[in-house]
Structures are given as C-alpha cells and as structure tokens.
Amino acid sequence: MKTIWRAAAPVVGVLAGAVATGLLLGGNATATESGSTGDRFAIREVMDRHQMYIDLKDADSYADLYAKDGHYRSPFGSADGRNEIKAMFIDLAEKGFTQGKRHMSGPAMIEVSGTTATARSWYWVAETEAEHAVYATGTYTDKLRKVNGEWEIVQRVQTLDELAPESQ
C-alpha cells in the first residue's frame, strides 16, 4: 500500500491544486480582465476534450479540435492541418504509444482578447497498465481562435518536463 501511495502522491497533489483552483475560481481557469467567463470555460472544455479524445482513441474528434490550418508540435511528432494531425494521432496509437496511458489536464492560465486567446497549461500522463504511476509531465502552450461561436486550437506546442540529473 505504501508503494501505491508513493506513486499516487504527485497526482494527488496536482489534483488537489486543480480542485482548489476550480473552487476558488468558480470552476473556471484563471480569470483575466478581458474575455468572458463563458469563453474561458469553453476554451478549458477544448483543452480537456483534447486529453479525453486521446484515451478514447477518437481521432476524428481530436483532429476537429484544431483549426483547419492548425499546427501541433511536440517531442513525439509535428503535424499541420487537421488531416495531418489525425494521421499523426492514428500513427501514434497504432504504434502503441498511448496504450496503457491516461492523459490529464492540469491548471491553466487563459487570456482572451476578442476572438483570439492564448493558454498555458500543465499536463500529466499516468501509466495505467504496468503500474499506477506518473509517466510524464509537461506544458502545453496554445493559441486559439473563435470561429462561428466555437473555439478551436490554432497552434499547440507540447513540451516535456526534464528529469533531474540524479533521477535519470
């Protein structure tokens, strides 16, 4: 039981922070002076769906979160446009890259200016098959735009947190 708690402790801490942030901000991402609460909530929904669609293996819905001319950049691959983004998603899934993983959204800072927005958020990926553990953590930096009342990702850049040298 000690091992499970030790592996779960970082996740519990992040979840507690996310819950506290949600309670303090009425369930929304970090408030800003510009942009409505509804816009920030809708953007957060896009960010959360991004993670859920990976685990649901829903390539179409995942790609549809992006603008037609959207861009995705990560240490695992890059793609331009919905068709390439969908193809990259399918390729990574077929190679087993996402097998046994659960993708989580962490706290976010969202700034809205009219029909454009920027967001910076933390994420973590949990291992669910070999053992329950945090597999990876990192940051998303997003540019979004509102088209016909819907927010879409124009650009997402994913980075991985570096491990401390003594832990490698």
The model carries a pTM of: 0.77
Q: Which region, left, alpha or beta, applies to residue 96 given φ > 0 means left and ψ of -120 to 50 means alpha?
A: left
Place of tokens 């859920």: 52
Dihedral, CA atoms, 117, 61, 136, 10, nearest 10 degrees?
80
Token reading at 79: 């793609």
Tens-binned pLDDT, residue by residue, of the chain (168 aa): 444 434 444 444 444 444 334 433 444 444 444 568 999 999 999 999 999 999 999 999 999 999 999 999 999 999 999 999 999 999 999 999 899 999 999 999 999 999 999 999 999 999 998 888 999 999 999 999 999 999 999 999 999 999 877 765
